[in-house]
Amino acid sequence: MDHYFERLKNGTLKLHALEQELPPLEAVKVRRTYLETEQGISLARIGSFTMDIDRAVKRNIENMIGAVQIPVGVAGPLTVKGEFAQGSFYLPIATTEGALVASVNRGCTAISKAGGADVRILRDRMTRAPVFATRDVGHAKEVVDWVTQHQEELRKTAESTTSHGRFLGCTPYVTGTSVYFRFEFDTKDAMGMNMVTIASERLSEVIEAGTGARLVAVSGNMCTDKKPAAINLIEGRGKTVVAGIALSADLVREVFKTESATLAEVNYRKNLLGSARAGSLGFNAQAANVVAAVYLACGQDAAHVVEGSSCITSAELRGDDVYIAVTLPALQVGTVGGGTGLDTQKECLSLLGVSGGGDPPGSHAKKFAEIIACGVLAGELSLLGALGARHLARAHQALGRG
């Protein structure tokens, strides 16, 4: 090991190159031990893990030194009545925020007591939007017209790059001499960003050759990936999912210790008016909490919580009862690829019955999205109830959260 330390110190060997000379597990150990020596600290806990290192260093991370641990709890049973997810599920939640699992669990109780949440996927398409430079606005219009007239050629080109994905079309956007094409794809059980990026790059080459436009970037931020954006809220990205539940006045009192009218008022004044006054792109109580926690547990790209949490929560009084729904326009999930093959994340997906590819293809990712949406609904119900009953601070204090 001293031989490698000396080379790392004098710069003849780079930290990222250790796997070229050592087996992955040994490379991770050398890298971590070198940092411990250089910084005078212990990384022993980071060095304790159970995942398949060979897979991780090849597909998920560079310069690996170990792994951090996040506690995982379960909320449930959560009764779901979807087109792909039907039955009761225990939702894996990876979080360091005390009271979150308890909160979601209470919402799950209400949903299950009410007979289960209805949930439907309205749209399902992953996007990538390259940006092209044109000579002038006349040329920009010519480029848009050319792409519009060559949809079948573009479809064949895109689908030649993947054995799973399908090209669904594109929408053009022009800003001065910049032209953006928001390509849309069906990526089946994969979240699909790698798939659509590779296909979009090939499509861009065809457009360049056919129009004389110059590709500036394969992602022009009209996608819009990992950034708050109204286009995702309006047009959707990934899966657009809606889940709702009718709660009787008696059930609201039993589980949440408040009234239906109070839930509706909290939602109106907090989630709708408060969010509008703040200029928020999310009109909800805590959707990001549930989306992020399930994403972490199940090997999703955590940065997609930006789009996944752009949720609108609605509450409609029906006599003494209330109907509460969540609309998630841009929920991006996958059950194959990315972090879904890591051992602990794969186990969490297996807990939900969605690990790996579904039969038919795409059914596992859709089932997963429906379960997450119902989990978000559970979280919204619980927090609205806690605020309505003025129990929020008390719950955090009781669970020892400062």
Q: Which residues of 354-387 are buried (b: 16+ CB within 10 A; e: fewer)?
A: bbebbeeebbbbbbbbbbbbbbbbbbbbbbbbbb
Q: Is 396 a catalytic residue?
A: yes
Q: Do 311 and 376 contact (CB within 8 A), yes or no?
A: yes
Q: Is 145 a catalytic residue?
A: no
Enclosing H/E stretch for 261: helix 260-266
Q: Can you tell me whether residue 98 is helix, strand or coil?
A: coil
From 52, 142, 301, 347, the catalytic residue: 301
Cα separation, 390 vs 393, whole angstroms: 8
Helices 249-256 and 363-388: angle between axes, nearest 10 degrees: 80
From 97, 265, 316, 321, the catalytic residue: 97
Torsional class of 307: left (φ above 0), alpha (ψ -120 to 50), beta (otherwise): alpha
Give the single-character DSSP code of 269.
I
Sequence-distant (6+) residues with CB within 8 A of 362 are 124, 186, 188, 189
Catalytically active residues, by annotation: 97, 301, 396
